[in-house]
Structure 1
Amino acid sequence: MRFRFAISLSLMLASPAAALELDAMSDDERAAFRAEVRAYLLENPEVLQEAIEVLQARGAAAQAGNDIALARANADALFDDGFSFVGGNPDGDITVVEFMDYRCGFCKRAFPEVKSLVSGDPNIRYVIKEFPILGEQSVLASRFAIATQLVAGDQAYEDVHNTLMEYRGDISTQSLARLGDALALDVDAITAQMDSDEVNAIIASNRELAQRLQISGTPTFVFEDQMVRGYVELAQMEELVAQLRAE
């Protein structure tokens, strides 16, 4: 009985036309059918798990396909916007973009992994997207980092970025000034630039790009046209890079 029922249920689920036969059932027949479905699933709960796994796999595949399309449609803004810091090998064969926030715990956790990837692979081009989304301290830190790049150049920006990624305290104008002094930067010039139209435009541009890419959290990485949302370990990064090179 249950075996015949399982076959009938499978056929009904596979065929929209067959599913319409439910509408032709009497109230008693429909109640009996529902009771049989419930009893079958209680006796075979693995069926539900299998169905959930299939749905999750289909959802992940759909998301991956959507992410690839989004990355390709926004390639210029991702890889060559003219203002984002570019580290590693500027002529590398694989570009990795990171959307990050200096107050993000998972960004800080990923920081040494990213450094190891870039330092250990001479053909990685690494692009940083300042994406402050975790409050005023995040915005303040990003403004200081971007202003540093505008005032003192890429090396000074990288020094500030690395220091902020390892910094664990509250971020304030005073703590940023101390950081700048420790790095022998012109803190007054940087501070004067923090609220400039240019800094505002860079942050706004990154936020607009993130919105187009449907990015709402940090860190988010883009490996060429492959998007990785959230923290990822070094081994997984290296595996993804190897897969991209093999294509």
Structure 2
Amino acid sequence: MILRHAAPALLGLSLISGPAQALDLSAMSPDEKAEFGAAVREYLLENPEVIIEAVNILEQRNAAAEAAADKDLVAANAEALFDDGYSWVGGNPDGDITLVEFMDYRCGYCRRAVPEVDALLAQDGNIRFVIKEFPILGDASVMSSRFAIATKHVAGDDAYKQVHDALMEFGGDVTEVALRRIADGLGLDGDAIVAAMDSDAVTEEIAQTRELAQRLKISGTPSFVLGTEMLRGYLKADQMQQIADAVRAEQG
């Protein structure tokens, strides 16, 4: 039968080419539909790799669409990401590309990312680094972020980075006493920092970062933005370097 012999080719077109060349089953008679269904089943049983090929193509298309959507989100929120006026900036402040990290002090993968980010900044030398306090793992996370941000407000950027690093390594319960000890150990005014933790300025900074994360559809940590690219999850230094090189090449 002509329909039976044509079914594999028609099936391939419909699976790989997409809706534009989809079959119009409504134009078939009941007998033709039954015959076509039997032919398709027979073909797929004999050639299951066609299904895998179609799934792979669909996944590639979806990944490309998601990446394009993420680029649009980054572009639409560029000022809030790269120059919000309050987030700590490190690395090379004059770098030709910016890495933004949304992090949580109680996040295990954020802690694993610390040496990877440090290695990237050291080996590249031309990356600007922005830290976004994004506490999402409970009260201890919020308390830690409030303490770090309050340190920046009270004692400046260098003190913030010291506290940030200390909190990333801290393994105990997050309490006011523990935070004061961290401040004292770094030669900082723990009383002044603790007093500033619940200030409107600290609250507003956390709220703005949360709103930004919501617009970017970020729900987990660590999450990165590297140039124009959204990187959702933990990556090693060499992976981030490859992405940085690709972004630079794309930008010319």
Using the size of structure 1 for normalisation, the TM-score is 0.92
Count, aligned residues: 246
CA RMSD in angstroms, aligned pairs only: 1.9
Q: Percent identity?
A: 59
| Unpaired runs of at least 5, structure 2 | none
**Alpha-carbon distance in 1 for matches of 2:21, 2:176:** 67
Asked if residue 185 in structure 1 is aligned to residue 188 in structure 2, the reply is yes
Q: Which residue of 2 aligns with 1:201?
A: 204
Moved more, 24-33 or 237-246: 24-33
1:165 to 165, 168, 187: 168
Structure 1 pair 244–10 and aligned structure 2 pair: CA distance change class (3 A): closer
Is the partner of 2:23 in helix, strand or coil? helix
Q: Which residue of 2 aligns with 1:136?
A: 139
Structure 1 pair 55–201 and aligned structure 2 pair: CA distance change class (3 A): same
Structure 1 pair 234–3 and aligned structure 2 pair: CA distance change class (3 A): farther
Structure 1 pair 16–228 and aligned structure 2 pair: CA distance change class (3 A): closer
**Residues 122-154 of structure 1 deviation map (CA, whole Å, 9 limit, x = unaligned):** 221100000111111111111010001101111
Matches within 5 A, 1:64-103: 64-103=67-106
Structure 1 pair 40–121 and aligned structure 2 pair: CA distance change class (3 A): same
Q: Which residue of 2 aligns with 1:221?
A: 224
Asked if residue 104 in structure 1 is aligned to residue 131 in structure 2, the reply is no
| Unpaired runs of at least 5, structure 1 | none
**Alpha-carbon distance in 1 for matches of 2:102, 2:22:** 49
Counterpart code for 1:217 = G
Q: CA deviation at 1:18?
A: 6.3
**Alpha-carbon distance in 1 for matches of 2:125, 2:13:** 55
Structure 1 pair 78–12 and aligned structure 2 pair: CA distance change class (3 A): closer
Using the size of structure 2 for normalisation, the TM-score is 0.90
Moved more, 78-87 or 233-242: 233-242
Is the partner of 2:101 in helix, strand or coil? strand
